[in-house]
Amino acid sequence: MHLMNNKFIKIMALITIVFFGSTFGVGNLYAQNQVKLTSGTNVRVEVVNTISSEGASVGQQVRLRVANDVKVDGEVVIKAGAPAWGKVVNAEGNGMLGKPGKIGITLTNVKTVDGQKVPISAKKVVKGESKQTIAIVVTLVLCLLGIFIKGKDATLQSGSYIDAQTAGEANIAI
């Protein structure tokens, strides 16, 4: 009989907690601590290390950082300084006859305040300075010497910004 009373008391306590919890909004505490990050939310990222067409290779991972806090409904969901990642999708070195180098990166994801990696979307392509006109003129005037003039490598400088958007939705725990 004593065992039966303990079970009854536990069941009644559970029913009371559920009833009063749903009546007074205790069940919504979890929902109030989450914010929905929607697709298309703007995220500005900063290049951490200079990337050059001379030393980069396609597929290489690029580390970036978030430049400004990203807020949803007044809550910070992505902190300034949070890591973001991208990858090199195009890397062409400079070449003869003044051909410039070219570097292209695509952003892939960013880390939220609760540790999730949310996909982001942006692409940045930088082209080096062309010296083709100078190379052609020098070639015409001085014969073949202009062939050896190279264009400049493309560089994406440390500290430059890229504006991206989230490419998916996520519920972020605050």
pLDDT tens-digit series, residues 145-155: 545 555 667 78
Summarize pLDDT for 23-58 with one digit per residue, the tens.
Answer: 555 444 444 589 999 999 999 999 999 988 888 999
Say if residue 44 is exposed, middle or buried (CB neighbours under 10 Å; 0-12, 13-18, 19+).
middle
Res. 78 pLDDT band, cuts 50 70 90: very high
Domain boundaries, the chain: 1-32, 37-173
| Both tokens assigned to 31 | 């929902």
In degrees, to the nearest 5, what angle opens at C-alpha 26 toward C-alphas 25 and 27?
A: 90
For residue range 125-141, list pLDDT tens digits in order. Answer: 876 544 445 445 555 55
Contacts with 113 (C-beta within 8 Å, 6 or more apart), sequence order: 76, 77, 78, 79, 82, 172, 173, 174
Average pLDDT score over residue span 101-122 = 94
Per-residue confidence (pLDDT) for residue 8, from 0 to 100: 72
Q: How much of the chain is helix, strand and coil, in % rounded to 5? A: 25, 40, 35
Pairwise CA distance, residues 93 & 73, whole Å:
45
Side chain identity at residue 2, one-letter code: H
- Cβ atoms of 112 and 169 within 8 Å: the answer is no
Q: Specify the CATH architecture of the domain 37-173.
A: Beta Barrel (2.40)
% pLDDT > 70, the chain:
66
pTM beyond cutoff 0.75: no
